[in-house]
Amino acid sequence: MANEPDDAELQRIARLARIRLEDDEVPRLRADLGRVLALVSELEALDLEGVEPMFHARPRCPLRADEVRAGAVAAPIVAAAPKVVDGSVAVPRVFEGER
Is 22 contained in some domain? Answer: yes
Residue 91 domain flag: no
Q: What confidence score (pLDDT) does residue 28 get? A: 92
What is the tens place of the pLDDT at every residue in 22-52? 989 999 999 999 999 999 999 999 999 998 8
pLDDT, position 36: 93
Domain range for residue 27?
Answer: 7-44
90 neighbors 83 (Cβ within 8 angstroms) = yes
Res 75: pLDDT: 84
In this predicted model, what pLDDT tens digit does every residue of 64-94 receive, in sequence order?
888 887 777 788 888 999 999 998 899 988 8
3-state SS track over 54-84: CCCCCCCCCCCCCCCCCCCCHHHHHHHCCCE
pLDDT at residue 97 greater than cutoff 90: no
> What letter would DSSP give residue 87?
T
Asked if the structure places residue 76 within a domain, the reply is: no
The answer to whether residue 61 is domain-embedded is: no
Tell me, yes or no, whether 73 lies in a domain. no
